[in-house]
Structure 1
Amino acid sequence: MKTFNTILLGLTTAAFALSTSAAVAAPKEIAVIVKTTNSNYWQNVKKGATASAAEAKGYNMTFQGPASESAIADQVSMVENAVTRKVAGIVLAASDPDALVPALKKAWEAKIPVVLIDSLVADSGKRYYQSFLSTDNEAAGEASAKALISQVGKTGKIAVMSYVAGAGSETGRVGGFKRYIEKNSQLQIVGTYYSQSQMATALNQTTDVLASNPDLKGIFGANEPTAVGMGRALAQAGKAGKVIGVGFDGNEDLKNFVKDGTLYATAVQGSYSMGALGVKTIVSLIEGKKVAPFVNTGVVIVTKANVDLPEAKNVLY
């Protein structure tokens, strides 16, 4: 009996050791939550995040986002659910600067590190995240304005086709564009239109703007779906190359619009880098390492002159 008990004790101890080892070895979840999954831009972010997650041993990445960038309540729920299931870290592109702050506070209270990418939250949420990786959106807006002025000159009418009013990236990007125009030209901005990041909405809005402003000289589309809709409207109205268009982001449609002259230029962010560096940064935080509070992931103004050069190919997707 003693021998049997000894064997049983040994088996129990071994089973406990295996169970403990399995628990320790279980991958830690990194939740990457973006503004929407229905965009090539965010899918390129996913590619970067996936590549970094594959290199990080002991981690499992999940990737999600709402059906649209305007579905802010859905994104808030995704962050709250990540906190509830006690993920190891969160990489977030916030759709709204204010609405996400309470959810980030919950992450902070649960001691879950957070890295923001693409868009900031309001100042009230500063203590709840540890690093921000993004294009310098104000500088990118200024660069877009400079590109437009180089082609249309400093007088006449232009239009701004934006996406979600008040989003962190939108505030910096469109704000930077407008301020540069106002300080460095006499161009009149006939209106700012918000597509809610819906390509079809941007197409219809641009079609209306072109019809009601036959003397329009230039137009700026401030994110991927908006710029694609804008480009299609220019082509359908026979205004490609006549009304100078500058887009933002760099999917296949926008690259082709630049190549065929529908758009003069598009400003392309390092979306792959945002995903890749976002995951690397959250892993560093989880492992107790110091990280930079801000990382500028850059922007490239892509025109016919450089669209086939490495500087553009490295950011187009």
Structure 2
Amino acid sequence: MKILLDRRRFLALSAAGLSLTALPRLAAAEVPLPDAAKALGATVAAEGPSEKPLRLAVLSFQGSSFWEAADKGIAAATDYLKPLNTTVDYIQLGTGLTAETIVAGIDGALTKQYDGIATVPIFDGTVAKVNEAVAAGVPFVAFIADSAERSNRTVGMGQLAYDAGKTAGAFIAKQLGGKGKIAVITGYLGAAQHDARMNGALDYLKAEHPDITIVGPFECKDDDATAYSQATDAMTSNPDLSVIYVTAGGSEAAAKAVRDAGQTGKVGVVGYDDLPEKQQYKDGGEILALLDQAPGRQTFESLVMLHNILAFGKEYPADIPVAAPLALGKNAKP
């Protein structure tokens, strides 16, 4: 909201006993996005600077190339917002993706009285703590993966997971010509986004292509070594396997397993997150397709939105869907 105050209106307000602090905050000019943000595909720019110092907490995980990509957005936002009177503190949650870890992180951020919080509340067990934060007047942005149960978070951005899964299922069916066998490796059973991606694909395949046999799911807990072992075992136990569908972390490891087993061209991987580390497997033919979700863009924009909400009262849609484009590998059928 932009408000222009001329001298006459200023005097009238003063005579009426109204202070300027009671007025809506003045909008500021947008600050051009840095090259680091543009490289991530970010489009949400900050207004600024904030009149008062702001402290934002971003809670994220580590241990894979996916989270490293998310870190790039956090780093870019930290540098971008610092001159605008907003400090970003990165609270690392470790490698174990659990509701308890996320809740403890949010609780710690509330104890330290951060002005805004952004994180990945992927489990329903986080809802009560998210609602507690919002009830305390702390804006909350969920990025990448939200809970299945609706919380009172201020903004949620991320891939429409069930729809992305359906897209993956349709792609798999096309690659197999409507018949064959696939194995499913998921991240965490019970994690809303992982389940939705899995169910979106499997519901579609069961309804539209009943001649496709499904093996699994196997839970790898986003661990590359586990995903590698599960992919290897699936190929060994199922010589007629054609596709390994990985719903979360582990697609790179599954692709390596295909290569190491000498199954390139016979077994292909369909997964998520088109990251540079996976390019060799797209070029080599082990990865057929990846559905991207731009983790760095999401972390960057989440923090910028918090800055704009707190500093200028800017409003955003409660739900911001992120597109899931298919990045095809060399052996994919167009």
**Deviation of 1:306 (Å):** 12
RMSD, aligned α-carbons:
2.1
CA contact (8 A) 1:152 1:244 kept: no
Give me the identity figure in percent: 23
Aligned length: 279
CA contact (8 A) 2:288 2:331 kept: no
Distance 1:194 1:301 in 2: 24
Q: Which of 50, 54, 73 is equivalent to 2:100?
A: 73
Q: Does 1:282 align with 2:309?
A: no
**Partner residue of 2:131?**
105
**Partner residue of 1:8?**
none
Deviation digits for residues 53-109 of structure 1 (CA, Å, limit 9, x no counterpart): 43331111122332224344232211100001110101111242x221232133123
Q: Does 1:37 align with 2:62?
A: yes
Deviation digits for residues 166-213 of structure 1 (CA, Å, limit 9, x no counterpart): 112112211111122122212111211110000000111111111111
1:262–1:46 Cα change, 3 Å:
same
Output aligned runs, 1:1-317, within 5 Å. 27-34=53-60, 36-56=61-81, 57-96=84-123, 98-123=124-149, 125-127=150-152, 129-186=153-210, 187-224=212-249, 226-287=250-311, 288-304=313-329
Bigger share in helix: 1
Residue 325 of structure 2: SS of its match in structure 1? strand
Q: Which runs of 4+ in 1 moved over 6 A?
A: none
Residue 44 of structure 1: SS of its match in structure 2? helix
AA at the equivalent of 1:111: G
**Deviation of 1:25 (Å):** 7.2
AA at the equivalent of 2:319: F
Distance 1:270 1:33 in 2: 17
**Deviation of 1:50 (Å):** 3.1
**Deviation of 1:247 (Å):** 1.9
Distance 2:329 2:221 in 1: 29
**Deviation of 1:114 (Å):** 0.4
Deviation digits for residues 134-183 of structure 1 (CA, Å, limit 9, x no counterpart): 01112211222222222112112111111111112112211111122122
AA at the equivalent of 1:61: V
Residue 269 of structure 1: SS of its match in structure 2? coil
CA contact (8 A) 1:145 1:181 kept: yes
Q: TM-score, normalised by structure 1?
A: 0.82
Question: Any gaps of 5 or more consecutive residues in structure 2?
Answer: 1-49
1:259–1:244 Cα change, 3 Å:
same
Residue 134 of structure 1: SS of its match in structure 2? strand
Distance 1:117 1:266 in 2: 20
